Amino acid sequence: MIIGIPKEIKNNEYRVGLIPSSVAELSAHGHQIIVERNAGAEIGFADQDYINAGAEIAVDARTVFSQAEMIVKVKEPQQNECSMLHPQQILFTYLHLAPDLKQTQALIKSGAVCIAYETVTDNNGQLPLLRPMSEVAGRMSIQAGAAALQKSNGGSGLLLAGVPGVAPANVVILGGGIVGCNAAKMALGLGAEVVILDKNINTLRRIDNQFSGRINTVYSTRESLENHVVNADLVIGAVLIPGAAAPKLVSRELIKQMKKGSAVVDVAIDQGGCFATSRATTHQNPTYVVDGIVHYCVANMPGDVALTATQALNNVTLPYVLKLADLGYRQALKEDKHLLNGLNICAGKVTLKEVAKAHALEFSDPQLLI
């Protein structure tokens, strides 16, 4: 199979779909890899590294898209990239379609086979291709939140860790999944007071055991959420409904009641965000202030630690890229029900119920399309 790796073009996105070691594995399986010039240069992977691994270098993205049978990316395709996709071409990347009608329509129009990292599942009901980026984003959320609390960034001037004689910040984390636990680990390590809210009592039990009772676990109700958010110095939005838009847990009215100079970090912004006041930002302009509350809502947080994030992502995506390349998408999806769960759009049809519901579009059974 001919596999194409375009250079990412989203704002301040330096990750790359495949690193040279992954290219070498695919080359060993007899596949042809075309990499856009300088696709990995920003994180230290020169074109010569890709050539040494067996790839060819293309002068531009159009060449990659026109020749490749499968496109492997990191972030969702931008509109000009969607226009370069063609029928039956495989697109394997993060998509986050539920809050993005424009992209959904463009991918339907392309006729491509669009498989989203974030909805591929495993035998434990987890999301293995989302997990490493959730780990990265969860850890980064505390760094971002700590910076947002600094006076020069519009915050209250509070040091997250406190100092002897001065209390540390109160960090409230909404959601006890991968993002939430990694955020908690970082916040606890800095010495902050940490509260996690979740609706799953078994999740709260696991967290209590994992952190030996050092984190306050609270069952999430409307009342408990409001009480903790209002008294927080930093709130991390870490909720996820696989494939669907994030629920708006914190209203505009609740934001108004928070302490001025407090901060929120919306890790769920890729799926639309869980704060009513959230809107996607970039690494270039990461924050804004609403009602005195600093908002950090960067839609590709791991892109700022692109080397670590790319390596972590390749560790989990490579086996699936190999399967799709070795077997072709039809056979690969037939043999792997978990990879089939990643199929969001196929041949102009929406094949993920959550995306169809979000945009009031017709759902098509993926089994019937492969």
State which H helix or E strand residue 61 sits in: helix 61-67
Please list the helix, strand and coil fractions of the chain in percent, rounded to the nearest 5, in that order: 40, 20, 40
CA–CA separation, 341 and 117 (whole Å): 10
Cα–Cα distance, 159 to 169 (Å, whole number): 7
Question: How many helical (H) and strand (E) elements, i.e. helices and strands, does the chain have?
Answer: 14, 15
Q: Which two tokens stand for residue 230?
A: 């209002």
Sheet holding 90-93, edge to edge: 56-58, 32-36, 2-5, 70-72, 90-93, 113-116, 343-346, 349-350
For residue 234, the number of C-alpha atoms closer than 13 Å in the C-beta half-sphere is 32
Whether residue 60 lies in the annotated active site:
no
Amino acid letter for position 255: I
**Among 116, 217, 139, residue whose Cα is nearest residue 175:** 217
For residue 326, indicate whether it is catalytic. Answer: no
Distance of CA 131 to the CA centre of its chain: 9
Residue 9 CB burial class (10 angstroms; 0-12, 13-18, ≥19): middle
Of 31, 96, 228, 295, the active-site residue reads: 96
Q: How far is CA 163 from CA 142, 152, 327, in A?
A: 18, 20, 58
- DSSP-derived secondary structure letter, 77: P
Catalytic one of 49, 198, 233, 270: 270
Give the Cβ contact number of residue 349 at 10 Å.
18
- Between CA 68 and CA 90 the distance in angstroms is 9
- Catalytic positions are 96, 270
